[in-house]
Structure 1
């Protein structure tokens, strides 16, 4: 009895297992999950921007002005008022020459001038008296009381010829005196411009020459860098154009300069066109002689619709971009303009705000179902 019951139980279990297995198989066959087909893409929103090409040129920095100061005469240096690195204002004394000999010349010239002036005053007084005497002699001559010789002698004494000669003597003496004073003033050698002392080549006790620079001053507030531009670029630059300048030795920040001069003819040594670009240097960080990198922008397109260059697909000579509309790729024919290699100008075909496929565009066609996996 027990054995029969056990066998029957086993048969029932096997039957149930077989039924359940068949049921699960039927469920799986009837509930097949349909996989979704789409192309993953990355997009960017179409915007307006400024596009341009650019060239990088290397140059060197120069001071706006560099003046070599020399005394007007040879003389012994009495004192030096400045040293290298000092900032000076225009007309500030740089050094002085010994005044002893020149001071003597000034005194001599002053004495000569005083003497000439005194002689002029004396001559003028004499002529005034002679004129009064001549009037009396003239009346006597008309009355026959004096001879003609006395009349002519009185007339000659009243002549201003001697006064004119005395006046010229005063003028010459005054000129000599003024020159002596100028020479005395020139012994204090002054700065012709404001700037920074770049070199001092005189010492106290030495003789300074008017043929050799004693002090050099550079104007550091405004400096310029010079670059040499190729012939294919020279007609694309213009006076007043702003450029970006990098001077790594002075600052990590980008600087802005303006083109001041463009040489109209080629430099025969380099066969290039020198261009001067001025910039401010208020903090004196930039020093003459430093190297510069100048970026000159050309072909500037302002406020234009731009997309990434790789988003444009070429087919049979026609340019397309794909935009996403209702989860589908839609091909749009476009007219392109300036291509910088990174971005390209779109003249017509799409509008600002559309979603352009920038990755995955080579794997879709018009109306292909897509899924945005990256981008805006």
Structure 2
């Protein structure tokens, strides 16, 4: 009987504990759901702006690649082993600045040897001239035969030729010695350095490139149907993925008068001042060449745009909801972007926190 009472007491207590745990678990789950509903239904305060009409210049939009204003390949004119390299990629150099030094002992010795030969040839020439002068008088007096005087004259001519040859050899030796130091052909920036100390170089071997990037060219290709609209002096706006939101001014400078045989396009170079050194040869560039005239287009602030997988969207403010709308964009002007389709002037679009919004989120328009 004692055990029965204990069992009866345990059962109600266990039931109370289980009920309490179930109730607590229900409250926890309900709390999570409630929080989730609160997040989904939270009203976000946003700023809206109307789709406006903006005047945009007619431009021809093109893509291309940047290249240096001037570029020169640096190579050795003589063979030799490199003893020192004075520059690295990216170093700025002046015209004539020394870049690479070759071992020059062989060239110095060759110069000394040829200078000695020149001295010997000059001495022989003095003797030949003296003999010629002396025998010339004797020949006039009939004391020397024509044959002997002809031999003396020939010896003088040979001595003069030997001096000329020796002088040329000295000049070549001096040039070779000078060429053992390789200098910059123009001012610019060192690129593509391909030489190291101890390396043996041969004549014509490319060692590095010097690029003058004080200004650069944006090189674009223009179809033959559009080339008549382009002429030197037209202004252009250049943008690069490397510098989002930054623009560079350029001018059409060079138009190839002959189309490429393969693609039938005309290579055109747009000159851009690179005073800050931000533009590098090889960068991908977008160019908008201003071809004259202007038109009114629907436009929104760039802040209204969001993109996904190459498509562009805006959020419209409609009946307290953020409604996502796909749009097709066109040209950029300052902080505005042309809307080709998807919106009309007067409609209101959200311009704050668009990357955090979802379609049909509740919103409140800021006063």
Q: Do both proteins adopt the same fold according to a TM-score greater than 0.5, normalized to the shorter chain?
A: yes
Residue aligning to 1:69: 74
Match of 2:161 in 1: 168
CA distance 1:209–1:161, change in 2 (3 Å): closer
TM-score, normalised relative to structure 2? 0.61
Runs of 4 or more off by more than 6 Å in structure 1?
none
1:191 is displaced (CA, Å) by: 0.8
**Does the 8 Å CA contact 1:250/1:286 hold for their aligned counterparts?**
no
Which structure 1 residue ranges, 5 or more long, are not aligned?
1-48, 139-149, 311-339, 342-357, 360-376
Q: Larger deviation: 75-84 or 247-256? A: 247-256
Q: In the aligned structure 1, how far is the partner of 2:181 from the partner of 2:297?
A: 68
Q: 1:126 aligns with which of 124, 131, 150?
A: 131
Say yes or no: does 1:105 pair with 2:110. Answer: yes
- The DSSP-based 3-state class of the residue aligned with 1:73 is coil
**Per-residue displacement from partner, 1:68-111 (whole Å, max 9, x unpaired)?**
21111221111111111111111111111111222221111111
- Higher mean displacement: 93-102 or 255-264: 255-264
Higher Rg of the two aligned structures: 1
Question: Following the alignment from structure 1 to structure 2, what is the Cα–Cα distance between the partners of residues 90 and 151?
Answer: 62
Match of 1:197 among 183, 187, 190: 190
Name the SS for the 1:160 alignment partner: helix
Report the TM-score, using the length of structure 1 for normalisation: 0.60
Q: Are the structure 2 counterparts of residues 187 and 251 from structure 1 closer, same or farther at C-alpha, using a change threshold of 3 Å?
A: farther
Summarize deviations over 1:330-364 as a string: whole Å, max 9, x none. Answer: xxxxxxxxxx99xxxxxxxxxxxxxxxx98xxxxx
**Aligned in 2, Cα 1:253/1:85: closer, same or farther, shift over 3 Å?**
same
Quote the residue 1:281 is aligned against.
274
Match of 1:261 in 2: 254
What is the match of residue 89 of structure 2? Answer: 84
2:12 matched residue in structure 1? none
User: Structure 2: which 5+ residue stretches go unaligned?
Assistant: 1-53, 299-329, 332-344, 347-367
SS of the residue 2:61 aligns to = strand
2:231 counterpart residue number: 238
Q: Residues 114 and 238 (structure 1 numbering): CA distance in 2 closer, same or farther, change over 3 Å?
A: same
Alpha-carbon distance in 1 for matches of 2:116, 2:71: 42
User: Are residues 151 and 58 of structure 1, via their aligned partners in 2, closer, same or farther at CA, if it must alter by over 3 Å?
Assistant: closer
2:214 paired with 1:209: no
Which of 274, 289, 292 matches 1:296?
289
C-alpha spacing 1:309/1:88, structure 2 compared with 1 (3 Å): closer
Q: CA RMSD in A?
A: 3.0
Q: State the aligned residue count.
A: 250
